[in-house]
């Protein structure tokens, strides 16, 4: 697709260790030749952390694995951005694709806690919730920054990164514990985002973040996952303006995307992030092009399937293991190939 923006990017889940070579090949032989210049790699806790090995997630990548990804991106002029979830999405349900802990699909079965909350269950904002697809971190526990900033530093170093995507989407559990209850959700969220931003800035790295918590659900009309119904949105006025906001919308809207205009009014640069459904993606892109006031840096297409699954399907025509992988592959072709 011919797009008027500089950034043509994709979110890939960090490959299973056995899939690293397939994903390197996919980047080298498909994404790079088709103009992809940015990859946000959803690594979560799936790295062999040296300083906090207790936080290692499922099937963690080694330094050598990461360096293969760094090398292929460097060779092709692709900006490789590690992506962690630094607020919500600290758990997953077991009925998910094969790249470790991913989004669950809402069935109430026992969940899998990701690295941080498995090692430190006390940092869970709602530890007595029996099973949940998106546990979140308590933002007032002082241990949180001590551990997470170490993890951030290690990832920035191994990825040789000048930016990090910190997730922070779909946070429904916030302001619930006795200490967090003392503050408004806007203050909790704004202070947290600012603290992580300042830490990244001190390391020379720019922050990317999902935009949904800055959008008021009632005012924008977006549904509750794509926007905030729990009072976090006023934080948009307190966080630093050099944050690159990734505005994700996957559902059909009545053709209007007020977030595109809100981020301009508030003085932020942004990326648009659609997903797999063709009609919804095309509608979002059309609106963004028509309403771009020079504040849209580009597109960051989301995928959410295993990157190895996507790579094998697109390189070798293998059937996708996850039910959405082949539809996602069609969207990748639509964005990166079709005129």
Judged by the rule CB under 5 A, the positions of this chain that interact with Zn ion are 125, 138, 140, 177, 180
- Residue pair 320/329 in contact by the 8 Å Cβ criterion: yes
Between 47 and 189, CB nearer to Zn ion: 189
Nearest distance, CB of residue 189 and Zn ion, angstroms: 12
Say how far apart CA 68 and CA 62 lie, in whole Å. Answer: 10
Say how far apart CA 102 and CA 306 lie, in whole Å. Answer: 9
- Residue pair 250/225 in contact by the 8 Å Cβ criterion: no
Nearest distance, CB of residue 42 and Zn ion, angstroms: 25
Among the listed residues 2, 71, 81, the one whose alpha carbon sits nearest the alpha carbon of residue 34: 2
Nearest distance, CB of residue 66 and Zn ion, angstroms: 32
By residue count, the chain amounts to 339
> Per the structure block, which two tokens stand in for 125?
């904002």
Between 160 and 179, CB nearer to Zn ion: 179
- Residue pair 299/285 in contact by the 8 Å Cβ criterion: yes
Nearest distance, CB of residue 179 and Zn ion, angstroms: 5
Say how far apart CA 41 and CA 44 lie, in whole Å. Answer: 9
Between 69 and 177, CB nearer to Zn ion: 177
- Residue pair 117/123 in contact by the 8 Å Cβ criterion: yes
Between 183 and 225, CB nearer to Zn ion: 183
Nearest distance, CB of residue 192 and Zn ion, angstroms: 11
Between 143 and 201, CB nearer to Zn ion: 143
DSSP secondary-structure letter at 216? Answer: B
């Amino acid at each position: 697709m011919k797009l008027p923006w500089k950034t043509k990017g994709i979110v890939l889940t960090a490959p299973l260790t056995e899939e690293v070579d397939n994903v390197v090949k996919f980047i080298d032989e498909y994404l790079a030749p088709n103009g992809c210049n940015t990859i946000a790699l959803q690594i979560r806790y799936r790295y062999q952390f040296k300083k906090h090995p207790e936080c290692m997630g499922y099937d963690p990548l080694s330094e050598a694995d990461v360096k293969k990804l760094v090398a292929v991106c460097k060779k092709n002029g692709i900006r490789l951005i590690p992506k962690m979830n630094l607020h919500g999405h600290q758990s997953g349900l077991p009925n998910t694709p094969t790249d470790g802990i991913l989004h669950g699909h809402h069935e109430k079965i026992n969940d899998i806690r990701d690295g941080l909350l498995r090692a430190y269950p006390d940092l869970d904002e709602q530890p007595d919730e029996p099973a949940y697809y998106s546990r979140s971190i308590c933002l007032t526990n002082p241990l949180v920054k001590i551990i997470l900033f170490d993890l951030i530093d290690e990832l920035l170093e191994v990825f040789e990164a000048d930016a990090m995507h910190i997730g922070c989407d779909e946070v429904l559990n916030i302001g619930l514990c006795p200490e967090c209850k003392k503050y408004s959700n806007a203050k909790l969220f704004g202070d947290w985002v600012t603290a992580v931003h300042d830490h990244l800035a001190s390391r020379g790295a720019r922050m990317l973040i999902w935009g949904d918590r800055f959008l008021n659900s009632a005012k924008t009309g977006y549904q509750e996952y794509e926007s905030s119904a729990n009072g976090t949105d006023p934080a948009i006025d307190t966080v630093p303006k050099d944050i690159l906001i990734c505005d994700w919308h996957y559902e059909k809207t009545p053709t209007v995307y007020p977030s595109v205009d809100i981020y301009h009014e508030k003085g932020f640069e942004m990326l648009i992030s659609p997903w797999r459904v063709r009609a919804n993606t095309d509608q979002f892109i059309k609106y963004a092009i028509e309403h771009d006031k020079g504040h849209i840096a580009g597109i960051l297409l989301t995928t959410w399937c295993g990157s190895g699954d996507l790579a094998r399907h697109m390189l070798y025509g293998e059937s996708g293991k996850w039910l959405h992988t082949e539809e996602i592959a069609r969207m990748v072709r639509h964005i990166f190939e079709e005129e």
